[in-house]
Chains A and B, each alone.
Chain A
Amino acid sequence: MMRRAIGIDNRGAPVAVAAVRGIGGRVRVSSVDPVRVQEGRLSAGTAVSVGMPARTAVTTWIQAPFPSRRKARRVAPALLDMELPFPLENCIWSVVAEQSDATGCAMLAVAARREDVQKRLDELAAAGLDPHVLDHEGLALWSRSLDEFPPPPQERFRVVVYRHPEGVVMAIGSPGKLRGVYTVAGVSRAQMERLLVAHLGSEWRTALTTPGELLFFCCGPSGAGADACLREALGVTAAITVHTADAPDHFLARALAVRALLPGPWHCNLRRGELAHPDWVARDRRGFRLSLAVLVVSGLLLGGLGLSVGREAQRRLDNQNRAFRAEASRIAGYPVLARGRDAINEVSLAVDTRLAELRVFEQQLQPSLLHLLPRVMEAVLHGEGAIERLDLAPGRAQLTVRAPDREALEQIGTGLEAAGLRPVQAPDVRPASGGGVIADLSLMGVSP
């Protein structure tokens, strides 16, 4: 991306040179000594832009019958070939603007014969100039005039008039569309009428006398004083809307420089292909090589990143596998070769076996049945009963008890429940031989 550009207009004398420097998206225009340019004393990275005269370069609108811009671009060469008075293969051309709607796509094309471009370059070389950009002067005039003097709301038509010692260049259009660029030897009434009618229709005459509707934007080495000249040429005595550019002799140079520096609409460089500037060819080649190098380095970085990520993932998995195997072997008490779920099953089996072996130690530390015995006895005595038989083991008890009556038996049952012993089933109660009742109780929930 160029940060500085120089535009040169060598139509007048002296040669007009404008330098433009891009600063934070804005441009600063300054003047440059033409001698410095001709001697090639320019800072590195400066783009030099010169205009291609409108008389040797054609601008024309071509219309593709479909709205798709991509398809329209494809047929543009064929359409342009039909429009041009010379074979397209002998031309340097480009499409600089596209406007599509439902009916089709209109494209503004610029074309110049290769030999004309070469001739222009030779002329410039003879004058000590070797431009990087050969811009179409009509496009430059038109786009810059819109930038420097944006169309007011009432403006319907605009004619940019660039007067130089050898003639006049006119860019004619409406604010949204450039309709044509012409070079004439002088501003004559007949020519003006013919051009304005051709491009603006009969409305131009009404617009001419309505303030602000038809604007004449004047510039060029002989741009000053164009007002009277135009009135005379158009045959009107009333006032017409004329705007003269600031520093009109440097207007084209400024336009060329700004267009070479900034991205924007209607960019055009007719110095391309085999006629391209050697510096730019070398720059493009360097850019291309840099792109290839970036591609290779990116590939290598991606590959390296991929390998390291893959290795890290595998390393982490290996670590987990090692930790798993070590833990499995430690718990099982022997080297476990199985992996994953199989290993867990194997270890689980080993642990169950070990737990069965170790259960005896756990049981040995459980609370004693001794603490339960007095509670059972107390429950029976509290119910005025007597124990006939007691079989007490962890988790269960069989009790045969003698009680005076069923009420006392129920009281014993309540006492036993308070002691944490619940009957498994209804007690088997039978009369006792010496009076009272005898009951066989099956109890559970004996918490050891």
Chain B
Amino acid sequence: MMTGSRTNVGIAVALLVFAAGLTVALDAFSQLRRSRVLWETRRQELSELQALGASLEQAEAFRDACRAQAPASPEPETAALFRDAFPDATPEIRRTRLDRDGGWQRYDIELALSNTSVARVLQFIETAERAAPPARLERCVFRSRPGGGHADVVLNLVRLQPVP
């Protein structure tokens, strides 16, 4: 009787242990199945993030390229640029601070020239775009004067300069 009872207890314990182990294993594999879906979702989300990061890095690469073109002190050179080409002209310069990315100064320059040689204007723009930092022609308006070769010109230029 005692032996039978011990045997039954043994069977019960073994079955319990096996059932518990099986339950844990089944639960784990069910979790694994769910996890696989989550892993794939996380992988896709990470890819999306990396795509966003790549677009940002590309934009930052442009900024770094601009920094490479810029000397330390632009102000006298900008003034000199206009003074040498058009001594009588008074450019209107608007400054905007771009505080992020290490601090930048943006110069929006508007230059109105009356009855000016078109060839001279083109030469000036070329010179301005080769300067360091380069000035970029944002907009130009030509109104021809009779006689040819001359025009009233309005130039809009933009320069970016890191703040020292």
Contacts and interface: CB of A to CB of B under 8 A. Distances in A.
B18 to A, nearest CB: 4
A316 B26 contact: no
Given A348-B52, A387-B144, A393 B138 contact: yes
B89 interface: no
A347 B59 contact: no
B101 A309 contact: no
Interface in A361-375: 361-366, 368-370, 373-374
Interface in B83-118: 98, 100-101, 106, 118
A317 B38 contact: yes
B72 interface: no
Nearest to A330: B53
Interface in B106-164: 106, 118, 122, 125-126, 129, 134, 136-144, 148, 151, 158, 160
B48 A344 contact: yes
A309 B32 contact: yes
Given A299-B14, A306-B27, A360 B98 contact: yes
A299 B22 contact: yes
Contact of A299 (B18, B106, B129, B143): B18
Interface string A320-353: 1101100110110000000011011001100100
B71 interface: no
Contacts of B27: 306, 310
A302 interface: yes
**Residue among B14, B49, B98, B148 with max Cβ neighbours from chain A (10 Å):** B49
Interface residues of A, number: 64
A358 B24 contact: no
B39 A317 contact: yes
B1 interface: no
A289 B43 CA distance: 49
A110 B66 CA distance: 103
A394 interface: yes
A317 B35 contact: yes
B139 to A, nearest CB: 4
Contact of B28 (A310, A344, A388): A310
Given A310-B28, A355-B55, A389-B141, A299 B46 contact: no
B79 interface: no
Contact of B56 (A341, A354, A390): A354
B13 A296 contact: yes
Nearest to A304: B21
B42 A317 contact: yes
A301 B17 CA distance: 10
B19 interface: yes
Contacts of B13: 296
A97 interface: no
B5 interface: no
Interface string B5-37: 001001101110111111011111101100100
A306 B46 contact: no
A331 B144 contact: no
A309 B33 CA distance: 11
Contact of A361 (B7, B17, B63): B63
A391 interface: yes
A295 interface: yes
A355 B129 contact: no
A370 B18 contact: no
Given A306-B29, A309-B28, A368 B59 contact: no
B77 interface: no
A30 interface: no
A66 B52 CA distance: 75
Given A362-B59, A392-B140, A313 B32 contact: yes
A323 B25 contact: no
B2 interface: no
Nearest to B44: A344
Contacts of B18: 295-296, 298-299, 302
Given A302-B25, A365-B65, A393-B139, A324 B56 contact: no
A233 B65 CA distance: 123
A390 B28 contact: no
A44 to B, nearest CB: 25
Contacts of A432: none
Given A299-B20, A306-B27, A347-B52, A362 B141 contact: no
Contact of A327 (B22, B46, B142, B148): B46
Contacts of A328: 49
A364 B10 contact: no
Given A358-B62, A362-B59, A368-B129, A323 B46 contact: yes
25 contacts: A288-B7, A292-B11, A296-B14, A298-B18, A299-B14, A302-B25, A307-B28, A309-B29, A310-B31, A317-B42, A321-B42, A324-B49, A330-B53, A358-B63, A364-B62, A364-B136, A365-B65, A370-B122, A373-B125, A373-B140, A387-B142, A389-B142, A390-B140, A392-B140, A394-B138
Considering the complex of A and B, which 3 residue pairs feature the smallest CB-CB distances, nearest first? A299-B21, A302-B21, A299-B18
Given A301-B21, A303-B21, A327-B53, 12 more contacts: A296-B14, A302-B21, A302-B25, A328-B49, A330-B53, A331-B52, A340-B45, A344-B49, A347-B52, A354-B56, A387-B151, A389-B143
Interface of B: 7, 10-11, 13-15, 17-22, 24-29, 31-32, 35, 38-39, 41-43, 45-46, 48-50, 52-53, 55-56, 59-60, 62-63, 65-66, 98, 100-101, 106, 118, 122, 125-126, 129, 134, 136-144, 148, 151, 158, 160
